Amino acid sequence: MSNSPRSSIIPLEDYSFPDAPTINRAEAWYELVRQKFLQARSKRTVTDDHLSRTDLDTVKELIAEPECRPLMSLLNDKCKNPDESFLELLIIPPCDSAGIIESWAQESGHQVLEPPSRDVLSSQLAPELPQLDGHGLLVIPRLEYWFIRHHRGLRHVSSLLKMIRQCDRPVLVSCNSWCWRYLAHVVDTDLVLPEPIAFEAFNARRLRDWLNELSSSDGTDKVRFLDVNDGHDIMAGDDVSVRFEELADLSLGIPWVAWQLWRRSLRTADEREAEEAVDSEESGKPKATEKKQTNSDIKTLWVTNNPSPLIPLGHEPESLRLLHALLIHDSLSVEELADVLPNIGESQITSALIRAGFIEVFDDQLRVRASAYPAVRSGLSAAGIPTGAI
């Protein structure tokens, strides 16, 4: 990380997505037009089902899921010695399955306010007022767990906002960008909480340095990452590879989205050779491949293109409503989904979206996969559904 410029925490309105490489933008337009007008479907969609177990294990072994340490150190700086009037609202991008704010708060010894269980959010019982008394910084992570989009589901978050207004201790509130957009409009959260702040986007150089550091820090095997198109080592040299510019653009500068996309773009040699054989067969032309001499001490991973998942054809409106509901709540069980979306909560769309790689199931909770987030965001935006700032 030493070579990359240190990022910072910035006002949410100043958040800007990393620039796309020009060639990538042109390719993206071509792909969009091809899909829209030629009804073309991707022949390959890279999901866990399509990768063999061995390959995924190998990748996981070589690159452990990151904790986003750079962001945690920024939080430490931001929340150093807060006074009583300290009140900050930190907006984080969605699909944060690791819970960066909770992890940081627990590690730093700050008190964390637990959200009520989802069962009581929509029950007919009057909400219990949260207790915010105490000393030191109070961290309220994941505001999205304090409400459910149901006609009885907004009372807890309203009570919480009232208590925050009266609270005389430092408070750090965080929620994802989609939840924030929703709450700011329907319960006027923006009138109670201060102007939101956010982590600066990871640009291409920062992503490269971070991913390079992650792959070399666990110390088991040395890994080199070769571009499947030209065989170049994309981590070598000072210049940032176009691969990382593409990754920064596609991931919208969100580190955990970038990491998932990165992980999914990696192949072991056998896998790549198999795919090349298929490609050559389909195109009828032999494909130029560069065989690299592999050193037994160095593992080689090939970096491939990452096709976006496709929304089930003919079910776009229902799928988008479902994905939107998941984004503003972070995650929902099937039963909660039926409460939030009475018409489609119990339909088969959920299964189709899981199969297509948009949703994952974790502890009986459905949530949008980080790797599918860019596709989900652009789909929702195109449909005119209000989107989160990040």
Partner 1 sequence: MDELNDSKEKASSLINNLDDISFGLIVIIIAVSWIAIATTRFLLPMLASRVPSRFRLYLLTLVPIIRLVVLVVAFIMIIPIIFNITMQNFFVIAGAVSVALGFAFKDLATSLIAGVVALLERTYRPGDWVKVGKDYGEVQSVGLRSIRLRTLNDDIVTITHDRIWTENISNSNDGDATLMCVTDFYLAPTHDPVKVRMALMNVAITSAYLNFDRPVSVIVSETPSATHYQLKAYPYDMRDQMQFSSDLTVRGKQAIREAGAEGAHAPASVDYA
Residue 303 CA to residue 267 CA, distance in Å, equals 6
- Give the number of residues written for the chain: 390
Question: One symbol per residue from 110 to 129: x for binding partner 1 (CB under 8 A), - otherwise; what is it?
Answer: --------------x-----
Please choose, out of 71-79, 148-156, 196-204, 278-286, the segment that lies near partner 1 by the rule CB under 8 A: 148-156
Q: Is residue 143 at the binding interface for partner 1, with CB under 8 A as the rule?
A: no
Instruction: Report how far Cα 384 is from the mean position of its chain's Cα atoms.
Output: 21
205 binds partner 1 (CB under 8 A): no
SS3 380: helix
CB of 155 to partner 1, least distance (A): 9
Among 105, 143, 154, 311, binds partner 1 (CB under 8 A): 154
Q: Which stretch binds partner 1 (CB under 8 A): 67-75, 98-106, 292-300, 337-345?
A: 337-345
What would you report as the CA-atom Rg of the chain, rounded to the nearest whole angstrom? Answer: 22
Q: Tell me, what amino acid is at 309? A: P
Q: Which stretch binds partner 1 (CB under 8 A): 17-25, 106-114, 182-190, 296-304?
A: 182-190
Q: Enter the DSSP assignment of 227.
A: E
Q: Where are the alpha helices (DSSP H) in the chain?
A: 22-37, 53-62, 69-78, 100-108, 118-121, 155-166, 177-186, 189-192, 204-217, 242-250, 255-264, 269-283, 316-329, 334-340, 349-356, 373-382
For 363, the enclosing helix (H) or strand (E) is: none
Residue 150 interacting with partner 1 (CB under 8 A): yes
Going by C-beta distance under 8 Å and a sequence separation of 6 or more, which residues neighbour residue 14? none
Q: How far is the CB of 275 from partner 1 (least distance, A)?
A: 30
182 is a site residue for partner 1 (CB under 8 A): yes
- Does residue 161 touch partner 1 according to CB under 8 A? no
- Answer for the pair 91, 390: CB distance below 8 angstroms, yes or no: yes
CB of 293 to partner 1, least distance (A): 48
- CB contact at 8 A, 301 and 226: yes
Establish if 382 lies at the interface with partner 1 (CB under 8 A). yes
User: 34 and 40 in contact (C-beta within 8 Å)?
Assistant: yes
Amino acid at 10: I
Using DSSP bridges, classify how beta strands 87-92 and 171-176 pair: parallel, antiparallel or unpaired.
parallel
Residue nearer to partner 1 on the CB measure, 79 or 340: 340
Q: Is residue 383 at the binding interface for partner 1, with CB under 8 A as the rule? A: yes
* Closer residue to partner 1, CB minimum distance, 185 or 287: 185
Contact between 384 and partner 1 per CB under 8 A: yes
Considering the rule CB under 8 A, would residue 37 count as an interface residue with partner 1? yes
What is the smallest separation between the CB atom of 186 and partner 1, expressed in angstroms?
A: 4
Position 324 contacts partner 1 (CB under 8 A):
yes
User: Binding of partner 1 at residue 338 (CB under 8 A)?
Assistant: no
Give the nearer residue to partner 1 in terms of CB position, either 165 or 185: 185
Q: Is 188 left (phi over 0), alpha (psi -120 to 50) or beta?
A: left
- Binding footprint of partner 1 on the chain (CB under 8 A): 36-37, 124, 149-154, 182, 185-187, 317, 321, 324-325, 340-343, 381-386
